[in-house]
Structure 1
Amino acid sequence: MRSVSPIRIGVADQSPIFASAVLDLAASTFDDTGTHGDALSATDIERLRDPDWDVLLIDPQFTPNLEDLVPQMLAACPSLALIAVASQPTKELVSFCMRIGFSSVVAKSISGPALMRVIRVTLAGGSLVDRGLSRSAEGEMPGPTEGKALTEREEYVLRLWAKGYSNSDIADQIGLSRKTVDSHRARGMNKLGLADRPALIRMASARGWLV
């Protein structure tokens, strides 16, 4: 039987938590081929100039020299599939990213299943631009409950959970029972329309909660 090479995925983002969540999700999604993932920080600019990934997800705010960097990456690796994952993909940003060489542009708030679909399509040579993908993706949870904002306690619990704290850690830190923390977390996730921790991490990164 012919072996299949693992998909090489790079994630360049200012938040290592966000990058780790994307790579973990990709590893479970592409378990038929396997993945080799790299989380890249601002100190890895030279690695970006000579890429060896099949697909690279990059926050447009990762470096101010994106307009120069992207053509260099594509010259070094013409087959590289580039996906911009932006906190706020405005029309201007989408136009800029597509002009300099990105294949796809999506919002960080996109659902996990939708982001994996974008990766599949882009790897196959396709192009997807954010058109409310997070609302239409198969398996996506409903959006936030209208008119119901998070309470201070719900937001605080979700911020800590997004940063990797366990329910027990959070309970100890704020002096509540684990059951009460579970309740705050569940209500907050329901209000935000989020299904799991990776989805929360993507939203938290977009909102600046992970700083």
Structure 2
Amino acid sequence: MIQLLVVDDHVVVRSGLIALLDGKNDIHIVGDAADGDEAIAKAQELKPDVVLMDFSMPPGKDGLTATAELKKLMPDVSILILTMHDDEEYLFRAIHAGASGYILKSAPHEELLAAIRSVAEGSAYLYPSATKRLMSEYLDKAKQENAGPYDTLSEREKEILSWIAKGYANKEIAEHLVISVKTVESHKSNLMEKLGLRTRPELVKFAMKKGLLNFE
């Protein structure tokens, strides 16, 4: 039986959640609270397995502050953040505070039940679009960490690198790309610095390795 503490500053919302959840065979509502301070006190007194914590509870202590403090006092308690904010900033803040899960108030009842059961078992829970968002950010970060110097160049810098390596002068490159000579020189300086190259022979050798000397 999952011992659940419901925390929300709106009486109607709390009552609705209690009515929805307390009738389930595997969930027992041990209590409820209206703000972060009350949630911390009730949690220490009632020892719930899971705290369903509202994100925003003005003017009382907010859910994230309460989550961080409660995790220090009761490391084993699982806290599921319930919020209307579908925003990655709030999501990351919740995870950083120590929450085991993050679910939207607009989620279907079945999803809320699944989330409570998931965090009660010690697993993490994020609503589907949040999981996709986190994975995307993780993959982007991994890609950046594994990227070589060439991958840090902008498309324009890569284009100018190719022209320089083929032996074209700055003025010729500027005319072809319809940009100023000064702009070409600026891009050249930046790309040379990013690649750690100092001379034209080094640049040509690098361009050959990257297959940038196709004159077609």
Which bracket does the TM-score occupy, shorter chain normalised?
Answer: 0.5 to 0.7
Q: 2:34 maps to which residue? A: 41
2:169 paired residue number: none
- Determine whether 1:70 maps to 2:64: no
Deviations 1:120-179 (A, max 9, x none): 01101111112259xxxxxxxxxxxxxxxxxxxxxxxxxxxxxxxxxxxxxxxxxxxxxx
Q: Which amino acid aligns with 1:40?
A: A
| Alpha-carbon contact 1:9-1:23 (below 8 Å) kept | no
Distance change >3 Å, CA 23–CA 67, structure 1 → 2: closer
* 127 and 49 in structure 1: CA distance in 2 versus 1, 3 angstrom threshold: same
Provide the secondary structure at the position in 2 that maps to 1:50.
helix
Structure 2 Cα separation of the partners of residues 95 and 105 of structure 1: 10
Pick 1 or 2: higher relative contact order, CA cutoff 8 A, min separation 6.
Answer: 1
Partners in 1 of 2:30 and 2:43 — Cα distance? 17
Structure 1 pair 35/65, CA: closer, same or farther in 2 (3 Å)?
Answer: closer
Determine the structure 1 residue equivalent to 2:113: 116
Q: Distance in 1 between matches of 2:61 and 2:38?
A: 14
Partners of 2:111 and 2:62 in 1: how far apart? 28
Seen in structure 2, the aligned counterparts of structure 1 residues 112 and 35 have a Cα distance that, compared at 3 Å, is same
Give, as a single letter, the amino acid of the residue that structure 2 aligns with 1:26.
Answer: L
* Counterpart residue type for residue 6 of structure 2: V
- Residue 10 of structure 1 is aligned with which of 1, 5, 19? 5
The one-letter amino acid of 1:37's match is V
Name which of 54, 57, 75 aligns with 1:59. Answer: 54
Name the CA distance, whole Å, in 2 between partners of 1:64 and 1:25.
25
Q: CA 1:46/1:131 → structure 2, altered by over 3 Å: closer, same or farther?
A: closer
C-alpha contact 2:52 2:79 (8 A) present in aligned 1: yes
Shift in Å, 1:67: 4.8
* 1:140 alignment partner in structure 2: none
Aligned mates of 2:42, 2:69 — CA distance in 1: 9
- Provide closer, same or farther for how the CA distance between residues 113 and 73 of structure 1 changes in structure 2, counting only shifts above 3 A: same
Cα offset, 1:68, TM superposition: 4.1
Find 1:86's aligned residue among 83, 87, 112. Answer: 83
How far apart are the structure 1 equivalents of 2:40 and 2:121? Answer: 27
Please state whether the residue corresponding to 1:79 is helix, strand or coil. Answer: coil
Q: Which structure has the larger Rg over C-alpha atoms?
A: 2
Task: Tell me the equivalent position of 1:107.
Answer: 104
CA RMSD of aligned residues (A): 2.3
Q: How many residues end up aligned between the 2 structures?
A: 126
Identity percentage of aligned residues: 15
Instruction: In structure 1, list runs of 5 or more residues that go unmatched.
Output: 1-5, 134-211
More helix by share: 2
Note if contact 1:54-1:81 (Cα within 8 Å) is conserved in structure 2. Answer: yes
Question: 1:12-31, aligned counterparts within 5 Å?
Answer: 12-29=7-24, 31=25
The change in CA–CA distance for 1:75 and 1:56 in structure 2 (over 3 A counts) is same
Report what 1:50 is aligned to: 44
Secondary structure of the residue aligned to 2:48 is coil
| Pair 1:113–1:67, CA change in 2 (3 A) | closer
